[in-house]
Amino acid sequence: MPSTSRSPARAADPVSLPVKRRLEAPVRGLLRLVLLLAGLSLLVRPGAARQAAIASAHPLATAAGFETLAAGGNLFDAAVTVSAVLAVVQPESSGLGGGGFWLLRRADGRVSMIDGRERAPLAASADMYLDAAGRPIPRRSLDGPLAAGIPGEPAALALIARRYGRLPLARSLAPAIRLARDGFVVDEAYRRYAGFRRRAIAASPGAAAQFLDHGEVPAAGWRLRQPDLARTLERLAAEGRDGFYAGKTARLLVAGVRAAGGIWTGRDLAEYRAVERAPIRVDYAGLRVFSAAPPSSGGVALAEMLHMLDRFDLDALTAVQRKHLLIEVMRRAYRDRARFLGDPDQVAIPLKRLLDPAYANSLIRDLSFGAAGRSRPLPPDPSGKGLDTTHFSMADSEGNAVAATLSINYGFGSGFVPPGTGVLLNDEMDDFSMRPGVPNVYGLVGGRANAIAPGRRMLSSMSPTLVETPKGLGVLGTPGGSRIITMVLLGILDIAAGEGPDHWVRRRRFHHQYLPDEVQYEPGAFSAQELRGLRLLGHRLRPLDDTYGDMQAVWRAKGGHLEAASDPRGSGAAQVKTIRVSTSPSDGP
């Protein structure tokens, strides 16, 4: 497995060696001086000219990432910090009770994916959200402990720290622990989602005590303190993954879930593993794109769409034809998403075929520039607004980069906190297809490949993405449920057109996901002429009242110059900074 350079402080330590005992005192003094100077230069050198860019959905997370870099951490340590701080300061979006995908790129160009996706409890069954007549029971896969998959984020953070980091996990988690313990002032997004999910939160005494103010949505200026979460983070910091999946935390989680009607067992937690996987790689128009592999559908769908687009000369098309083509490739990729994709460890995915550029020919065989296609019901299977969920992008001048999308699914997840843990559980079970043809909360349908099964990871749309071009490296991603993949596609096309990150995050967006058969679009996404043209072709156009997405993006030009941009639809923070190492990495939290 990959390893990174060790911390300067740790590199210097082993020299306090057996040899020392045999040396004369003056020589020893000289040696100490030399070692001290060497150690100091090692400490200072990495920070001297290094720059980093971080774009995250919360200013406190971006600031904490830089804090870890200044403490001597590498970009992957900073990714652990940003993830953990987002878990504390954006509880409506992600957390220790949820999961995510981290795409890690090392300066030498190697890219890997850490899969910290939740999985179904071992006692889960295909029809657990259906009534006796086979109808979905409203809200069962969304609210309360029965909606929660086994969390993956704590295991992923421990794995990233161990395999890729330079600092001890405890050091990288220190800012999150501090913010959970001392608190921070909640923002408008928190208050909005707390209002939206108040009923589910109020039903859980643990969640209500933590996130509401005497049962009500807190007023502006309210400080959220999460002492139980701070202690859970401390156990993770001290013991690594066992600090969460075994011992006291595991006992509290299982007891809390079961007392409230959930089905978790200690074995669910003990057996959970974050998995390192190869990302999906696709070449398009001189770009090399890396994105999330199954159990995310993002990379495969992006690959299919880019391969289809590659069959056309986009510059030769009119504006209407171009939008029409994009809608039609979206339609086709989401059909395959629904039919073929699921947990790669449990279902057979015809990955080789789907990723073959030649496969795109068969997908576009019926694509006409004279009329919109039709989304028919899927063959019988024999077998919101979008600021919840979160993404961050980072890169340094040396060429390391991280794109990570993290989620507890719906705003404030399941709304359930097992007492004593401070851990808000996800409702990611809703991402399974609970019955062929029955849409989930994002309107997505699926079949057997994404049916509920014990220990299975539910299919995701989260698509952290890296784009290498002859001019540099783009890092991007966003929340937004089913619309994530099409947002990233539009961003990739902007990169191909030579646009910078500010453009990717600001651009107006549109989306088609096969079913429902409609084009959803933000105000301003189409000109009046495009709307007329698309309507004439037979597209059903559904204007959205509001914008969607919260993209966080970074660009690293070939020479090392960095830019960062945060979606104006959210309240994130994007910054480029020169890193000056101020603290020894061995300093504890």
Reduced to 3 states (helix: H, G, I; strand: E, B; else coil), residue 231 is helix
The sign of the CA dihedral 83, 87, 91, 97 is: positive
Among 92, 143, 336, 431, binds ligand DON (CB under 6 A): 431
- Cβ 491 to ligand DON shortest distance, Å: 15
3 state SS for 478-511? CCCHHHHHHHHHHHHHHHHCCCCHHHHHHCCCEE
Give the H or E element holding residue 584: none
Between 447 and 481, whose beta carbon lies closer to ligand DON?
Answer: 481
Reduced to 3 states (helix: H, G, I; strand: E, B; else coil), residue 43 is helix
| 396 touches ligand DON by CB under 6 A | no
Residue 389 known to be catalytic: yes
* Percent of the chain as helix, strand, coil, to the nearest 5: 40, 15, 45
Structure tokens at 111: 């890219």
Q: Would you give the binding string for ligand DON spanning residues 438-477, x where CB under 6 A is met?
A: ----------------------xxx---------------
Give the H or E element holding residue 303: helix 298-309
| 299 touches ligand DON by CB under 6 A | no
- Cβ 407 to ligand DON shortest distance, Å: 5
Q: Are 153 and 83 in contact (CB under 8 A)?
A: yes
> Starting at the edge strand that comes first in sequence, how are the strands of the sheet with 390-396 ordered?
275-277, 111-116, 99-105, 401-407, 390-396, 51-56, 573-578
| 407 touches ligand DON by CB under 6 A | yes
Among 232, 409, 414, 433, binds ligand DON (CB under 6 A): 409
User: How many residues interact with ligand DON (rule CB under 6 A)?
Assistant: 15
| 342 touches ligand DON by CB under 6 A | no
* From 249, 389, 469, 486, the catalytic residue: 389
- Cβ 128 to ligand DON shortest distance, Å: 18
| 149 touches ligand DON by CB under 6 A | no
| 98 touches ligand DON by CB under 6 A | no
- Cβ 145 to ligand DON shortest distance, Å: 17
Between 57 and 236, whose beta carbon lies closer to ligand DON?
Answer: 57
For residue 562, which phi and psi values (nearest 5 degrees)? Answer: -115, 145
Among 389, 486, 520, 566, binds ligand DON (CB under 6 A): 389
| 62 touches ligand DON by CB under 6 A | no
- Cβ 141 to ligand DON shortest distance, Å: 12
In sequence order, the 6+-apart residues with CB closer than 8 A to the CB of 482 are 334, 442, 443, 444, 461, 511, 513
Reduced to 3 states (helix: H, G, I; strand: E, B; else coil), residue 561 is coil
| 479 touches ligand DON by CB under 6 A | yes
| 481 touches ligand DON by CB under 6 A | yes
Between 128 and 488, whose beta carbon lies closer to ligand DON?
Answer: 488
Residue with tokens 């990959």: 2
| Cα(124)–Cα(364) distance, integer angstroms | 38
| 480 touches ligand DON by CB under 6 A | yes
- Cβ 414 to ligand DON shortest distance, Å: 12
Q: Are 89 and 211 in contact (CB under 8 A)?
A: no
- Cβ 310 to ligand DON shortest distance, Å: 26
Q: Are 463 and 302 in contact (CB under 8 A)?
A: yes
Under rule CB under 6 A, which residues in 557-586 are in contact with ligand DON? Answer: none
Q: At what angle do helices 75-89 and 59-70 cross, to 10 degrees?
A: 150
Residues forming the site for ligand DON (CB under 6 A): 384, 386, 388-389, 407, 409, 428, 431, 460-462, 479-481, 484
Active site residues: 389
